[in-house]
Amino acid sequence: MNLFGRGESPTEETVAVIGLGRFGSAVAESLTRLGHEVLAVDERPDIVQKASETLTHVVQADSTEAAVLAQLGVGEFDHVVVAIGTDIEASVLTVLACEEVGVREIWAKAINAKHGQILHRTGAHHVVYPEAAMGERVAHLVSGKMLDFIEFDDGFAIVKTKAPAEAVGRTLAESKLRSKYGVTVVGVKQPGQDFTYATPDTVIAAEDTLIVSGATTKVEAFASTT
């Protein structure tokens, strides 16, 4: 019983979000705003009732049972996000149930490394650690060297930071930031202007903000010079 018809739009993807705590609700609402068809699932009636005020498709169900997920047609969804956090047993059993009904791509929330390892071994294709990721991001922002920080799970990061003094008044080619620090300046923003893509001929001003990408350790080292 898939609640969504397939093939209605080539650009729409169907996503089931299981677990409607703060993280799961935020994911479901964001996906809905992005135009995806979202099925939200939780076993708690009060949570389901509250979620139905902002989400179109909300179901109260026990996600740890493969038969229940099969009845909902979860195996036909493009992606499933298992957003159950503190109940580790329910989290793991739900991933197992998703794997059993043939979900092609399972994303799962973990509260720690051991939880994440178990989720990987039981069928999750992607494991996210939202609390840890946010903690690290805040730590970088508190230091004052970075204006924003996003790290990916392969040790790659993108940061927004101030322009270093050594680059001011010079083109990116002249300052040789890439060869010196091993990072790439992707974009530059002047006050009151939109971001523009950086080129070797881009001249850096003292008040510029830079978007820089590269290995996490290298972008951290670069930001420390600003």
Segment 171-191, tens digit of pLDDT:
999 999 999 999 999 999 988
**Of 131, 152, 185, which marks where a domain is finished?**
131
Q: Which two tokens stand for residue 32?
A: 């809905």
Q: Is 77 contained in some domain?
A: yes
Q: Are residues 77 and 150 both part of a single domain?
A: no
Neighbouring residues of 109: CB distance < 8 A, sequence distance ≥ 6: 19, 23, 24, 81, 82, 83, 84, 85, 91, 127, 128, 129, 130
Distances in whole angstroms, Cα of residue 221 to Cα of each of 130, 141, 166? 24, 14, 14
Please report the pLDDT score of residue 117 as a whole number: 94
Please report the pLDDT score of residue 149 as a whole number: 77
pLDDT-based confidence at residue 208 (cuts at 50, 70, 90)? very high
Please report the pLDDT score of residue 70 as a whole number: 96
pLDDT-based confidence at residue 7 (cuts at 50, 70, 90)? very low
Q: Between 19 and 11, whose confidence is greater?
A: 19
Q: Are residues 182 and 91 both part of a single domain?
A: no
Domain count, the chain: 2
What does the DSSP assignment read for the chain?
--SS-TTS-TT--EEEEE--SHHHHHHHHHHHHTT-EEEEEES-HHHHHHHTTT-SEEEE--TT-HHHHHHHTGGGSSEEEE---S-HHHHHHHHHHHHHTT-S-EEEE-SSHHHHHHHHHTT-SEEE-HHHHHHHHHHHHHTTSEEEEEE-TTSEEEEEEEPPGGGBTSBHHHHTHHHHHS-EEEEEE-TTS--EE--TTPBBPTT-EEEEEEEHHHHHHHHTT-
pLDDT at 10 over 70: no
Average pLDDT of every residue of the chain: 87
Q: Is 8 contained in some domain?
A: no
Q: Are residues 113 and 188 both part of a single domain?
A: no
Q: Are residues 35 and 117 both part of a single domain?
A: yes
Please report the pLDDT score of residue 58 as a whole number: 96
Looking up residue 73, the CATH number of its domain turns out to be 3.40.50.720
pLDDT at 11 over 60: no
Looking up residue 168, the CATH number of its domain turns out to be 3.30.70.1450
Q: Are residues 41 and 80 both part of a single domain?
A: yes
How does pLDDT run across 128-173, given as a tens digit for each residue?
A: 888 766 666 666 556 556 777 777 766 788 888 899 899 999 999 9
Q: Are residues 169 and 202 both part of a single domain?
A: yes
Q: Are residues 39 and 78 both part of a single domain?
A: yes
How does pLDDT run across 33-59, given as a tens digit for each residue?
A: 888 889 999 999 999 999 999 898 999
By residue range, what is the domain housing residue 121?
15-131
Single-letter residue type at 204: I
